[in-house]
Structure 1
Amino acid sequence: MKSNNKICAVVVTFNRKELLLRTLSYLYKQTLPLHSIVVIDNASNDGTNELLQHLGYLDKSNLFYHKLVNNTGGAGGFYEGTKIAHESDVDWIWLMDDDGYPPQTCLETLLEYQDRYDFYGPLVLSDQDKTTLSFPITLPTSKRIVRNKTQLDIFSSNNKVLSNVLIPFNGVLLRSSLVSHIGYPLAKFFIWGDDIEYTKRARKSGARIATITDIEFYHPTAPSLGTPMFFGKMQFNDTNSKIKLYCLCRNNTVNLKKYHGNLYALLFSIKTIWFYSFTQPSLKKLKFSLYGLSAGWFNDFSKHRQFIGKTFE
């Protein structure tokens, strides 16, 4: 199938060359051929460049490989990739990490909805069982948290479209004209929360946002992501990565202050303290999360790099 749309896929990678190869192989298998593919390499040191060269990917006329000098996190990678794609005058930008991949018909079926939405994507499922959601979804009307396709079928009133719901930067299509209006993702976030901020910015601008639930995209599932609390009424993204927990606390506080007000940011602080005090008690994580929360309250984006590669274990 051919399309009059020029679509550029943006893939951000860091030291996951084998997973990147899986993603690229599925991009080249799409029933609707891509105009271009931009690979943003966040300063990998695992031989990603050499492997892509060896396998001939760097010789492909529609693949553009851009290796950054420093690791700028997913946020910096998507900033660079979105900017490069947008400046290449394409119609749509298809965003994804290196560990996710689209089935062969994913892009073609997504484009069937191009007249209805500006920023939308497929249902993101576990690459292992393909029935569990990789990222739990909170339904906007009932606030019910769904974790698999069965729950989604039961509790969703529309089995095809979840309006105003998006798992951003995981196989999502972004209209290039929307980028012209709202700008690029915020590189300073480094990781976690940049995608949420971008979605909130898009929604505030009037963009039409949705998840199309009968179109699938596959991505690994982190066991601690969306850990239930308060009898399953809420969830918290626990992690043993210091850089992720710090950026989660800082970036979510910044997002809540900016788009919802100080009260919501305060409630998130209380939620975080409760989680590490009672739900999954950890004095180390409690003290560390306070450090990230404080950075969020003071809009301090200067301290996160010291935690790259460090864990609580």
Structure 2
Amino acid sequence: MKTVSCIVVTYNRLEYLKRCLTHILDQSTPVSHVIVVNNNSTDDTEGYLNSLTDSRIITTNPHQNIGGAGGFAWGIKTAYQETTDDYFWLMDDDTMPQITCLENLLTATDTLADKFGFLVSDPRWTDGTPNQMNVPLTQRFWTSNLDDHLIQLQYATFVSFLFKRTSVTKLGLPYKEYFIWSDDIEYSTRLQAMGASYLVADSKVIHETGNNVGADIVTDSLGRIPRYFYSYRNLYSTWRKYKGHKGAFKQFLQAMLDLIHVLRHSPDHKWLRVRTLLRGQFAGFFFKPKVDFVSQIDQSAK
């Protein structure tokens, strides 16, 4: 029997977390464990998690907000060290997997004879349309497995994202240093070393983001502008790693194009947007994090 640890990272979104856990625990194919990484929430999350009695739930708190990237790395490490489960299944706390979501992902693992890098579900917004924050990038010949309802991908986001335990052994953990944004792009690209990767069209999730628009430094709200530092830094680092100087230069050109769009079209806070973009891009030139492997981590530091 295939076993699965579901890993959820949460921060100050208790009502989302409650419904997310209900959806996970009600799957038609049960999960073996749920690792909840409480990113040092300041609401009632800690008390709620302490009140849960389902033996499948393992809670852990880094006691500081280490971001989504740090949270997923922490959760994968915890699942690897505290369970023997065959697969790890990642999602945000505002992700609501439909009842056959995991069942259909595991069916795909059988179809592929367990030869794959990662599998993801079809991410939808609350109105049933594709969630624009989670549109994965397809391979050029993405229709090769379409008869099995599988769409071949280059990379995807950590929204109902399934991969093998053995991949962690061989490839290590996601970069915790990314903090937020693009850790999933980097790790899903890294997982391609384990085999072709797919969106499983029959596996559905609702990702309840606040709105259904993609990330865009030109128009995003004031409170979210600082996050783009990580976006530009992390993307430059990622494409330099996987596509060399050509990929890095292409990402640099994209950043400069975004800069022009900010200057021409941003409705407010133009100089904050410009400074954030340039700081992130400059930091990317020097940002080269190293992969952590679970075997290298002190077992007492859980």
Which bin holds the TM-score, normalised by the shorter protein? 0.7 to 0.9
Question: 1:254: Cα distance to partner?
Answer: 0.3
Query: Within the alignment, does 1:95 sit opposite 2:90 as a pair?
Result: yes
Partner of 2:276: 288
Partner of 1:23: 20
Question: 1:236: Cα distance to partner?
Answer: 8.7
SS of the residue 2:174 aligns to: coil
Q: Map of 1:230-309 to 2, 5 A cutoff?
A: 240=222, 241-278=224-261, 280-281=265-266, 282-299=270-287
TM-score, with length taken from structure 2: 0.83
SS of the residue 1:93 aligns to: strand
Partner of 2:167: 178
Question: 1:165: Cα distance to partner?
Answer: 4.1
Instruction: Return 5+ residue gaps in structure 2 as ranges.
Output: 290-302
Question: 1:5: Cα distance to partner?
Answer: 1.3
- Aligned partner of 1:64 among 54, 58, 62: 58
Q: Which amino acid aligns with 1:191?
A: I
Q: Map of 1:120-139 to 2, 5 A cutoff?
A: 120-126=119-125, 128-134=126-132, 135-139=134-138
Separation in 1, partners of 2:106, 2:130: 24
Mark the CA change 1:237 to 1:137 in structure 2 (over 3 Å): closer, same or farther. farther
Instruction: Return 5+ residue gaps in structure 1 as ranges.
Output: 144-154, 228-234, 302-313
SS of the residue 2:41 aligns to: coil
Q: Deviations over 1:156-198 (max 9, x none)?
A: 9937221134423111111111111101111111000111111
Q: Deviations over 1:63-100 (max 9, x none)?
A: 11101111000111011111111222111111111011
- Aligned partner of 2:152 among 163, 167, 177: 163
Separation in 2, partners of 1:237, 1:262: 30
Separation in 2, partners of 1:166, 1:49: 33
Q: Map of 1:186-197 to 2, 5 A cutoff?
A: 186-197=175-186
Indicate if the aligned counterparts of 1:276 and 1:283 stay in contact, CA closer than 8 A. no
Indicate if the aligned counterparts of 1:9 and 1:36 stay in contact, CA closer than 8 A. yes
- Aligned partner of 2:207 among 219, 232, 235: 219
Separation in 2, partners of 1:48, 1:226: 27
Q: Map of 1:34-49 to 2, 5 A cutoff?
A: 34-49=31-46
- Aligned partner of 1:12 among 9, 12, 26: 9
Q: Deviations over 1:38-76 (max 9, x none)?
A: 1001110011011233xx42x221111101111000111
Q: Which amino acid aligns with 1:209?
A: S
Separation in 2, partners of 1:250, 1:60: 40
SS of the residue 2:194 aligns to: coil
Separation in 2, partners of 1:236, 1:217: 28
Question: 1:300: Cα distance to partner?
Answer: 7.1
Mark the CA change 1:237 to 1:181 in structure 2 (over 3 Å): closer, same or farther. farther
Separation in 1, partners of 2:43, 2:241: 38
Q: Identity of paired residues, percent?
A: 28
Partner of 2:299: none
Indicate if the aligned counterparts of 1:224 and 1:239 stay in contact, CA closer than 8 A. no
Count of matched residue pairs = 275
Q: Which amino acid aligns with 2:16?
A: L
Structure 1 stretch 279-288 or stretch 102-111: which is displaced more?
279-288
Question: 1:101: Cα distance to partner?
Answer: 1.5
Q: Deviations over 1:213-266 (max 9, x none)?
A: 232111034444155xxxxxxx99956424420000100010011111123222
